[in-house]
């Protein structure tokens, strides 16, 4: 029984329904130690036969048996293993991978073995040494002569120590000297106990071997033994074969990304700009939200919602509308806007309410200091709802004290801080039991100067002081507003809801409003704006996805031959798919990293530039934003490479090898 046996091989090509028989019944046997040349006229079917022997062509009739075992050509996995382990290919046009060094080219085949990294390298160097290329291991294929290239290809074919070496016109592109060198190497391989099958047009090459087969019209029409086969040698090196490891595929992808530096740099740059702008806008959204919250919280304590009497019967009115109506009512029917102690008890009973702090609010207050008079503003008693951060000089008001706004303090003295401690006469209008206006006058000491707008810091006085003054003037002393002390900020919303739902005599009694409501609205608007901006920036990510698709397609068509070579060396279809997916993922990852670094630099620069103006980090990129950016960029890369990498994996190996 021969080592390699072909039985009754038939193969036809079809053009439409028309059959073109190429191999018409081939029965052959080959043994180890043979150097067999297949001669024959062009188009006689030599390459077709080699593809069948080499496990590249599965679509034929007949059987191929190695060592007595018939190959099942239906099992792709089995054929991958066969190519990896048993077959070594040498092509006329060398088919070296141009972005790999000569050493790496040989290593690519060795990467499909179970040898360790160091062993692979050692073996690759030895093999290149054997073919006389020791000094050229770190060169790239295009830095070698044709003969040298073919020797690299031979070293690669021998890498996994296959039993069969198939060479299709190995000397077709070489001059006489190189032809001789290559033939000597092939002979030495046969001497080593391997089976060498060479397809050739050259009688000179054929005469070099141990046996010549002549093919004509799809059949072997002549067979000639030139000399005895070389004695069978015990194979010293048994190299165990293994599929390409994910890490090796990743390294190959990296080599190719590096090889195509400029193109990949531009794509990475494009994608990175997209990621950069999306992240920066999201970060800006966070920052603006944070800034507004910070500003508002500096004026008011969010744990203290404010409550006033509800005077509206319109159930559909918003809290703000109710509040406005209560304010207006104060001028016409003050009595209707006061909060009885009894009604406030209802609020006190709500869960999470620690205290209800009574207060007053009057419009059109004025005060005088010496001859300076300040007109027309709101008077509000100090409540814990007002943030003490608003006080820029002095302290919050105690008994017979007042806090005035900075703008008012400046009217009294340009050195506004010096106003603290001075006495002012405060005047405002309140109402008596008959709803008649009553003038209230009080002399108070300025305890502090506040800055921060309307949040009640203007004319803030102490509650007891105001109450005493009202009493003295004969005005109603019942509070007309209150601050609710809620235990935790997260309970404020539910407390305000409950306050607004309280009914007395069948009517809603209160209008409660928290600074949180205002913030919620602002936050929603800010988030929306930042998402819209990020989405606009996101359009560039679509562009980057298209760029990745185009590059992967280009990469696949440029590397069709390489795909064929890898498959011939035994790489599986899924290895090819992974190779291209890895390349896209790599570009996606690099883009994400570059985009993120740029976004952080942008954040730093923007925050630095605006710090003088707002003393707040206006761009705040969160961990969530970073994770989002990485995920989105990897997803884009994966989706973009999906179709091209599948196309690459599905390529027919024979067609791929024939690609220009």
Q: Give yes or no for residue 283 binding ligand ATP (CB under 6 A).
A: no
Residue 42 within binding range of ligand ATP, rule CB under 6 A: yes
For residue 423, which phi and psi values (nearest 5 degrees)?
-95, 140
- Asked if residue 47 binds ligand ATP (CB under 6 A), the reply is yes
Contact range with ligand ATP by CB under 6 A, out of 41-49, 182-190, 539-547, 628-636 = 41-49
Shortest separation between residue 2's beta carbon and ligand ATP, angstroms:
22
Taken in order 227, 175, 97, 50, the sign of the CA dihedral is negative
Residue 583 tokens read as 């390349």
Q: Residue 48 Cβ, how far from ligand ATP at the closest point, in Å?
A: 3
Number of residues that bind ligand ATP (CB under 6 A): 10
Q: Does 516 bind ligand ATP (CB under 6 A)?
A: no
The answer to whether 302 and 514 are in contact (CB under 8 A) is yes
656 counts as binding ligand ATP under rule CB under 6 A: no
In the chain, DSSP finds a helix count (H) and a strand count (E) of 19, 23
Residue 92 as a binder of ligand ATP (CB under 6 A): the answer is no
Q: Which of 3, 32, 44, 537 binds ligand ATP (CB under 6 A)?
A: 44
Binding segment (CB under 6 A) for ligand ATP, from list 44-52, 173-181, 460-468, 521-529: 44-52
Scanning 42-50, 150-158, 284-292, 332-340 for contacts with ligand ATP by CB under 6 A, the matching segment is 42-50
The nearer residue to ligand ATP, 121 or 219, going by C-beta atoms, is: 219
Closest separation in Å from C-beta 23 to ligand ATP: 8
Query: Out of 33, 36, 48, 499, which residue is the one contacting ligand ATP (CB under 6 A)?
Result: 48
* Identity of the residue, 95 or 160, whose beta carbon is nearer to ligand ATP in the bound complex: 95
Spatial strand order in the sheet of 353-359: 353-359, 481-486, 306-309, 510-513
13 lines the binding site for ligand ATP (CB under 6 A): yes
The burial class, CB within 10 Å (0-12 / 13-18 / 19+), for 26 is: buried
Among 490, 497, 489, 502, CA closest to 513: 497
- Judged by beta carbon, residue 539 or residue 658, the one nearer ligand ATP is 658
Residue (66 or 199) nearer to ligand ATP, CB: 199
445: number of CA atoms within 13 Å, CB side?
Answer: 11
The β-bridge partners of 29 are 5
For position 16 contacting ligand ATP by CB under 6 A, the verdict is no
Please identify, among the stretches 45-53, 380-388, 493-501, 525-533, the one whose residues bind ligand ATP according to the rule CB under 6 A: 45-53
Q: Which is nearer to ligand ATP, 45 or 302 (CB)?
A: 45
Asked whether position 46 contacts ligand ATP by CB under 6 A, the answer is: yes
Contact pick of 33, 45, 564, 602 for ligand ATP (by CB under 6 A) = 45
Minimal distance in Å, beta carbon 14 to ligand ATP? 8
Residue 22 contacts ligand ATP per CB under 6 A: yes
Rank residues 200 and 241 by Cβ distance to ligand ATP and give the closer one.
Answer: 200
Tokens of 244: 């390409």
433 forms part of the interface with ligand ATP (CB under 6 A)? no
- Footprint (CB under 6 A) of ligand ATP, residues 581-610: none
**198 vs 541, beta carbon nearer ligand ATP:** 198
Closest-CA residue to 232 (of 181, 262, 195, 186): 195
Q: At 116, is the secondary structure helix, strand, or coil? A: coil
Q: Which CB, 42 or 142, lies closer to ligand ATP?
A: 42
* Contacting residues for 60 by C-beta, under 8 A, at least 6 apart: 9, 10, 11, 23, 52, 73
Q: Does 43 engage in binding with ligand ATP (CB under 6 A)?
A: yes
Q: What is the CA radius of gyration of the chain?
A: 44
Q: Is 114 exposed, middle or buried (0-12, 13-18, 19+ CB in 10 A)?
A: exposed
Quick one: 631 exposed, middle or buried, by C-beta within 10 A (0-12, 13-18, 19+)?
Answer: exposed
Residues ≥6 apart with Cβ < 8 Å to 295? none
State in angstroms the smallest separation of the CB of 546 from ligand ATP.
33
CB 579 within 8 A of CB 252: yes
Q: Output the six-digit token pair for 65.
A: 């048996």
Question: Of 39-47, 409-417, 453-461, 467-475, which segment contacts ligand ATP by CB under 6 A?
Answer: 39-47
Phi-psi region of 370 (alpha: psi -120 to 50; beta: other; left: phi over 0): left
In the complex, the smallest distance separating the C-beta of residue 202 from ligand ATP, rounded to whole angstroms, is 11
Q: Are 243 and 575 in contact (CB under 8 A)?
A: yes
Q: What strands, in cross-sheet order, belong to the sheet with 195-199?
A: 87-90, 164-168, 195-199, 35-40, 211-216, 219-225
Binding site for ligand ATP (CB under 6 A): 13, 22, 40, 42-48
């Amino acid at each position: 029984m021969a080592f390699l046996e072909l039985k009754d091989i038939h193969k036809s090509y079809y053009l439409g329904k028309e059959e073109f028989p190429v191999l018409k019944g081939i029965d052959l046997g080959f043994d180890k130690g043979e150097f067999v040349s297949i001669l024959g006229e062009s188009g006689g079917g030599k390459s077709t036969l080699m593809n069948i022997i080499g496990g590249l062509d599965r679509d034929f009739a007949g059987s191929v048996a190695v060592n007595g075992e018939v190959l099942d050509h239906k099992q792709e996995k089995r054929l991958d293993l066969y190519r990896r382990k048993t077959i070594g290919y040498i092509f006329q046009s060398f088919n070296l991978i141009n972005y790999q060094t000569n050493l790496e080219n040989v290593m690519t085949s060795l990467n499909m073995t179970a040898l360790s990294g160091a062993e692979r390298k050692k073996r690759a160097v030895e093999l290149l040494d054997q073919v006389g290329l020791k000094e050229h291991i770190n060169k790239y294929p295009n830095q070698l002569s044709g003969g040298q290239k073919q020797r690299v290809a031979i070293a690669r074919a021998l890498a996994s120590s296959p039993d069969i070496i198939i060479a299709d016109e190995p000397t077709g592109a070489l001059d006489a000297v190189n032809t001789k060198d290559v033939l000597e190497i092939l002979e030495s391989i046969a001497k080593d106990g391997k089976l060498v099958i060479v397809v050739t047009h050259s009688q000179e090459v054929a005469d070099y071997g141990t046996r010549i087969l002549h093919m004509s019209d799809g059949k072997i029409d002549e067979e000639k033994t030139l000399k005895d086969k070389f004695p069978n040698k015990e194979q010293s090196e048994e190299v165990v074969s293994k599929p390409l490891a994910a890490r090796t595929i990743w390294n190959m992808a990296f080599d190719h990304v590096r090889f195509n530096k400029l193109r990949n740099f531009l794509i990475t740059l494009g994608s990175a700009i997209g990621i950069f702008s999306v992240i920066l806008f999201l970060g800006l959204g966070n920052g603006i939200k944070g800034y507004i919250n910070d500003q508002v919280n500096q004026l008011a304590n969010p744990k203290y919602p404010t409550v006033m009497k509800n005077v509206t019967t319109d159930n559909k009115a918003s809290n703000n509308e109710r509040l406005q109506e209560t304010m207006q009512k104060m001028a016409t029917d003050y009595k209707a806007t006061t909060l009885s102690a009894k009604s406030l008890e209802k609020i006190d009973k709500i869960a999470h309410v620690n205290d209800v702090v009574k207060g007053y609010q009057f419009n059109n207050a004025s005060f005088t200091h010496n001859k300076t008079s300040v007109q027309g503003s709101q008077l509000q008693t100090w409540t814990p709802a007002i943030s003490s951060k608003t006080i820029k000089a002095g302290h919050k008001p105690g008994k017979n004290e007042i806090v005035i706004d900075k703008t008012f303090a400046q009217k009294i003295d340009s050195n506004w801080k010096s106003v603290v401690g001075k006495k002012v006469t405060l005047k405002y209008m309140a109402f008596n039991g008959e709803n008649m206006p009553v003038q209230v006058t009080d002399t108070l000491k300025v305890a502090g100067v506040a800055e921060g707008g309307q949040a009640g810091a203007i004319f803030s006085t102490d509650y007891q002081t105001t109450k005493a003054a009202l009493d003295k003037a004969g005005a109603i002393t019942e509070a007309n507003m209150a601050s609710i002390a809620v235990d935790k900020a997260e309970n404020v919303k539910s407390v305000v809801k409950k306050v607004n739902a309280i009914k007395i005599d069948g009517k809603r009694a209160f209008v409660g409003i928290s600074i949180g409501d205002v913030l919620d609205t602002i936050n929603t608007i800010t988030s929306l704006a930042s998402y819209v901006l990020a989405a606009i920036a996101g359009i560039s990510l679509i562009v980057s996805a298209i760029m990745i698709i185009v590059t992967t397609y280009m990469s696949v068509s440029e590397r069709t031959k390489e795909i064929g070579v890898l498959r011939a060396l035994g790489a599986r279809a899924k290895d090819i798919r992974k190779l291209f997916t890895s390349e896209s993922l790599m570009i996606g990852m690099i883009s994400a990293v570059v985009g993120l670094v740029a976004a952080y630099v942008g954040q730093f620069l923007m925050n630095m530039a605006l710090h003088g103006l707002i003393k707040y980090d206006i761009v705040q990129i969160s961990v969530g934003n970073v994770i989002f950016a990485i995920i989105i960029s990897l997803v884009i890369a994966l989706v973009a490479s999906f179709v091209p990498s599948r196309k690459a994996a599905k390529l027919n190996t024979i067609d791929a090898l024939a690609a220009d």
